[in-house]
A = this chain, B = another copy of it.
């Protein structure tokens, strides 16, 4: 006997709060870096919750975590749904975790109803979406999608000199009993719920965001090399001060990037050497994060940034590393329409919008019909301990996801409305 699948808002909320303990910061928020001990703790919780619903855990060479609900036709390609559980150093309780746990909740609801989907449903937590410990972000989904190679990623090191390969070995060693599958597999559809990380939904009073696409993004690492010298004796005109070269670049970039009200330009990371009060800095290494929904504009601004580095570096030398170059993309129209209809059935007001933030769904879109379901994020504040989503919005996002999973796996259920 199969019943009607429905999510448990209370269970989903309590799990969200519980996961916030892994890497909890002293006051609030979390620091749960990719492939860290804190992320291992979160994997344990998620695998245990999945086991309660009969989901089978597996991982791959990229360190992605999968939990699969078996199907009537187990060899059909799965519907994949989820997000990530790593956070920024001062992250909140919802970014990534909401999508992962909403996916787990929706699949759990199907399993608890005794329903058997036509094709498998796989909950995913992608490796290193944030890119704050190991750069760039989206490593797990990019490896899955073949956008980067294992050779290229495994040698990336964190600030402490630990490589992705070493950190990944530690994670895999912590889970000796779960299945290791090869990298990449055919996907029937991909659906990622996420908090909006901006305040478009909140301002519009909408509950569900139907994401049309993700704005383009370029990231760079710029290395400026000067010459260290004594701050009290080296004449100003002879200095090769790497920090002052940075300052000249950063000010012109800030001015030249301010072309409209949708561009986003950020220098979030900067390290100078030797970083001593009375030594002229010999090097400055910084990261640029540039986003714009219009690919032509994004490309033009990227060229402008590179020109500024070239023009302002003197008398220092420089090196420009292009880390990410992701154009804007468009999500599947059919899935967008399904999200809109599900929201309507539940009485949630929905709004079409573009994602300003990057997400793993960007990598999945070329592989399979893909979509994102946004819920509001208080004041648009994300990557911050104060990040917040309302319990009723969390439940709404999971309920819409459940509808989509049922439709995608031949389980569409009757609704109590008049249609």
Contacts and interface: CB of A to CB of B under 8 A. Distances in A.
Interface of A: 88-90, 130-132, 135-137, 196-198, 215, 217, 219, 227-237, 241, 243-244, 246-248, 250-251, 254, 258, 261, 263-282, 287, 289, 291, 356-358, 380-384
Contact of A279 (B261, B270, B383): B383
A231 B289 contact: yes
Per DSSP, are chain A's interface residues mostly helix, strand or loop, or mixed? loop
A270 B268 contact: no
Given A130-B278, A131-B277, A279-B383, A243 B229 contact: no
Contacts of A268: 231, 243, 275-281
A232 B244 contact: no
Contacts of A384: 227-230
Contacts of A135: 277
A88 B276 CA distance: 7
A232 B382 CA distance: 10
Nearest to A221: B277
A251 B261 contact: no
A230 B278 contact: no
B247 A251 contact: yes
Contact of A276 (B89, B217, B228, B230): B89
A161 to B, nearest CB: 14
Nearest to A261: B235
Given A261-B235, A356-B233, A276 B244 contact: no
A384 B229 CA distance: 6
A236 B264 contact: yes
A70 to B, nearest CB: 37
Contact of A270 (B215, B272, B357): B272
18 contacts: A89-B274, A90-B276, A131-B277, A135-B277, A198-B235, A229-B382, A231-B264, A231-B383, A232-B264, A233-B380, A233-B382, A235-B261, A236-B264, A243-B268, A244-B267, A247-B251, A247-B254, A266-B278
